[in-house]
Amino acid sequence: MQQRLFALAIAILATIAGWLTTLTWADIGPAFDTPFQWNGFGTLTTDLDAGSTAGLQATPLGMWVAVACLIALVAAVAMAVPTPALANPLRPIAAVATLIAAVIPIVVLLRPSTFLGGVFDAMGIGPILTDDHYADIVDEVLAQPTLIALAVVLVVLAAVCVAAALATRPAKPAAAAEAAAAAE
């Protein structure tokens, strides 16, 4: 029963993290009066002529978040349908993957050039991302609430995966022997 609750929590959190990855991570519209927005997959979400925006794709860092969420979802399914041979190794793998994925939105917040460097270089305004003089503009470009929420959800997801992994640790041999002796 406990593993099914962990599985449900993991599935919900992984789905929320996946959804947050599809939302806008950067919007240069307010700062530069252009209609350009990018989601976590680096895809330009504005409906414009594909030919004129060909070089304006951001770095698809959200793909790593999606992979971590997929691993967590597979672990959740393996936990919900009792398959210890699959679930036992997947729980810690999901924990590590989601914890690593939580670093991605944090890095984007701290160093926007990792996500938008190529776009700003293609537009000829690359130095804006690294020059402290333009920090207010960069802060306006990033969708900070989405990125912060994603980081929090991924850290909580990793914690739930760790808790699920620790909850299924086998008893120590001495403790198992004592339990068997007490049962006799």
pLDDT tens track for 154-174: 999 999 999 998 887 654 555
Backbone angles phi, psi at 84, to 5 degrees: -55, -30
| pLDDT given for residue 113 in this prediction | 85
| pLDDT given for residue 180 in this prediction | 58
Query: For the chain, which residues make up each domain, given as ranges?
Result: 2-183
At 84, the pLDDT band (50, 70, 90 cuts) reads confident
Q: How far is CA 84 from CA 87, 89, 95, in A?
A: 5, 8, 16
Dig out the tokens for 52 from the structure: 């004129």
